[in-house]
Structure 1
C-alpha cells in the first residue's frame, strides 16, 4: 500500500483538504455556557461548584468511589504514588514504552523506575515479563518486595493503558499480590476504556487520568485521581489541597501537602465535555473501525483492542512493515498537512533514565521502530460514513 493512498483515505474520512491534526479537542456541548457562568460568578480558582460537579460526573462514569480533580495528569499520578506509599529510594516498575510523564512522576517522588516489557496484546505492561523479572531479581520479605542486588524496596507498579487499550489487569493483579507490590494505574489516556466491563483506573487503590488538550475530553489542563474507597478519597483530597485543616478563618496545615487543586474554570469546561463523552467515544470507535477495515488487506497492521476490553481508541495506531515504510509515511503525511507521529522514544533512550534497571524489552523495541499514530479526533462527520 502506498503512502499516497493512506493520505487520501484519511482525507476522505475527515472530508477536508485542510490541515488534519493528530487529536484536536472538540467542543459540542455546554462548555461555553458553563465557563461563562464561572466567570460571572468570579469563582474561577480552586473554589466553586463546578469542581464538585466534575468530580461527581467522573465518579458516576468510572464507578470510582471518589475522584479528586487536580491541575494535570502528572500531578494526578504523582499524588497517586504518594498515596500508595512510594518513598524516596524506592523502585517502581513501569514500562519503557510510555510517555515521559509516567517516569517523571516516579522521579519526582525520589524513586527510580525499573523497566519491563510490554505485551503485544495491549501495548501496555506485560504481567508475564514483570513476573519473570521479579523471579530473577527480587524476593519477598517482611519489608515488602526487595530488589536482591541493591536491597531496596520495589514498592509499586505503574502500568500505562497505552492509547486507551487496557492492560491485562487480572494477570497483573495476581503478580502484584504474589510479590506484595502496590498497583497504581496510569490511565491518563484511557477515559472511556473498560476492562471486562470495569473502567480502567479503578482496579488498584489509585489511578490517574489526564484531561490535557489532546485527550478524549479536556479541561484545558487537568487530571483526576481515582480512589478505591471514600476514605482514601478524603485523604487524597486533603493532601492535594495543601493539607489544610478546615476552619472558618485560621490557616492550619497538618502535613506537607500539594497545591494541586483544579481551578473551577477548568472544571466547568470539563462538565460540558462530560455531557458529550459517550458520543465522542462512539465516534472514535467508529473511526477505529474504518481504519481497521482499510488496513485489513494491507501489509500494515492496525492495532485493535484486546478481546477482553472495550477501548476508547484514544490514538489509532498501525504497525508498519518496516522502519523505511514508517519513515516514508511519517514524512509524506506531515508534509501534506496530515499529522502522524511515531510512538515515544523508549524511556531508557532518554538521558535521565538511561541507567535505569531493565529487563528484556524486545516488544518495546519492536513497536518503537515500527508503530505510527494516525489522526484520531472525534468528528460528527464520521457518523454517516
Structure 2
C-alpha cells in the first residue's frame, strides 16, 4: 500500500477510536471520576493553597503506587527536577549527564542550578540514554578523583549527576545504567515525567536512582492541571519537603526560614484533582495499552514502524509513536494528518540544536539525530470506548 494510503487508513482508524469528526488532540485528560467532588470539597474546606489533606493523600497514593519511600508534591515537573538536582548537590560549574532527545525542561532544570548538560547519545530501542555510550564516553574523557568524584580529564569539571529520561514512558536500560553510574560515582536522577505506570523488570520507574521526578501536566497519563513529584528516600524526602516549602522552620507564629528555599508547593486544589485521577489510573493504563496494541496491529507490515516497549519492560504507552523511513516520509505524515485535523507531532528538537545548549559538551549523537528525523507521535488519549 502507498504511503498516502497507509496514512489515510491511520487517520480513519484514529477517528473511529475517538468517535469524532472534530480536531483530535495528541493527548487530552480524561475526567470521569471524583474530580469535581474532590475539588469542590477542597474549596469548601477553604484549604485551597499549599496546605491541605489532599496534598498529603496524593503523596501517599504515589508512594503506594510506585513503591518509593517518600514522595513530595511540587507545583510542576520542572520544579521537581530542580529540587532533585539540588538534593544531589548540583551547583554552579558542574556538569550533568543527560540525553539530547528530551523535553527542554530536563536541561532547563540543570541550568537553574548553574550547571551545564553533558549530552550522551540514546539507544534506538529505548529512545533513552544509552548505558554503553555513557560508559564509552566516560572511559575516554573522565576519571574518578581521590574523593570519589567523577571529573572530566580536560578541565577537571565535576560530573555531579546523571539524568536519563524515560521517553514517551518507555524505560531506559536501568540495570546497566545504574551499574555504569555506580562504577563512576555518579548519582542517578530519573526524569520519569512521562513514565507513571511503567515498569522495568517488574519494578516501577523512578525507584532505581537516588532521586526521580514525575509530571502531572495536563497532557500526562494523569493530571493535576499542573504539578510534579519528587520520589526519593525518607531522608532526602524530608529535605525536599523543607526546601519546597520556602525552608520555613515550624513555629506557632514566627516566620523563621533557615536557608534559601523555594515556593514550589502543590496547591491543595491540584492535589484534589490528582487524588481523583489516581483512583482511575489502573483503568487508564489498561486502556492505553489496549490502544497501543490496536495501533501495532494496524501498522504491522506497513512502512511506519510502531514503537513497542523495550524487552523486559511494561510501558504505560503515554505517547504512541511510529518511526518513519526518513525525514521526507516523516514530514509527509505530519502534513497529511494535521491537515485533516488529527494532531501528530515530531519528537522534540535535539537539545544540542537549541541556542542555549548548542555549545554544551557532547559525545557522538548519531542515534538521537536518526530518531529526530523519523519519529512521529500519534494521538494517545484514552479512547471514549475505554472509559
TM-score with structure 2 length normalisation? 0.97
Q: Secondary structure at the match of 1:40?
A: helix
Alignment of 1:210-229 (within 5 A): 210-227=215-232, 229=233
Shift of 1:308: 1.2
Shift of 1:16: 2.0
- Structure 2 counterpart of 1:168: 173
Alignment of 1:320-359 (within 5 A): 320-359=324-363
The CA distance in 1 between the partners of 2:79 and 2:261, in whole Å, is 12
Contact 2:121 2:129 survives alignment (8 Å): yes
Deviations 1:255-305 (A, max 9, x none): 111110100000000000000000000000001001111111101100000
- Structure 2 counterpart of 1:133: 137
- Structure 1 counterpart of 2:31: 27
**Stretches of structure 1 lacking an aligned partner (at least 5 in a row):** none
Q: Secondary structure at the match of 1:358?
A: coil
- Structure 2 counterpart of 1:69: 73
- Structure 2 counterpart of 1:307: 311
Q: 1:239 aligns with which of 222, 226, 243?
A: 243
Tell me whether 1:81 sits opposite 2:103 in the alignment.
no
The CA distance in 2 between the partners of 1:85 and 1:152, in whole Å, is 14
Q: 2:118 aligns with which of 111, 114, 123?
A: 114
Q: CA RMSD for the aligned pairs?
A: 0.9
Aligned residues: 382
Shift of 1:382: 4.2
Contact 2:17 2:383 survives alignment (8 Å): no
The CA distance in 2 between the partners of 1:50 and 1:7, in whole Å, is 40
- Structure 1 counterpart of 2:214: 209
Q: Point out the more displaced range, 11-20 or 245-254.
A: 11-20
The CA distance in 1 between the partners of 2:134 and 2:337, in whole Å, is 37
Shift of 1:379: 2.1
The CA distance in 1 between the partners of 2:57 and 2:355, in whole Å, is 41
- Structure 2 counterpart of 1:179: 184
Q: Secondary structure at the match of 1:51?
A: helix
Q: Secondary structure at the match of 1:257?
A: coil
The CA distance in 1 between the partners of 2:105 and 2:328, in whole Å, is 29
The CA distance in 2 between the partners of 1:205 and 1:231, in whole Å, is 11
The CA distance in 1 between the partners of 2:365 and 2:258, in whole Å, is 43
The CA distance in 1 between the partners of 2:246 and 2:288, in whole Å, is 38
Tell me whether 1:150 sits opposite 2:135 in the alignment.
no
Q: 2:9 aligns with which of 1, 5, 8?
A: 5
Tell me whether 1:267 sits opposite 2:271 in the alignment.
yes
The CA distance in 2 between the partners of 1:187 and 1:382, in whole Å, is 25
The CA distance in 2 between the partners of 1:322 and 1:12, in whole Å, is 28
Shift of 1:322: 2.1
Contact 1:318 1:373 survives alignment (8 Å): yes
Tell me whether 1:195 sits opposite 2:203 in the alignment.
no
Shift of 1:323: 1.3
**Stretches of structure 2 lacking an aligned partner (at least 5 in a row):** none
Deviations 1:142-179 (A, max 9, x none): 24001111111001000000000011000000000111
Contact 2:18 2:384 survives alignment (8 Å): no
Q: Point out the more displaced range, 7-16 or 345-354.
A: 7-16
Q: 1:45 aligns with which of 44, 49, 64?
A: 49
Contact 1:50 1:271 survives alignment (8 Å): yes
Contact 1:24 1:377 survives alignment (8 Å): yes
- Structure 2 counterpart of 1:284: 288
- Structure 2 counterpart of 1:293: 297
The CA distance in 1 between the partners of 2:17 and 2:263, in whole Å, is 43
Q: Secondary structure at the match of 2:230?
A: strand
Q: 1:255 aligns with which of 243, 253, 259?
A: 259
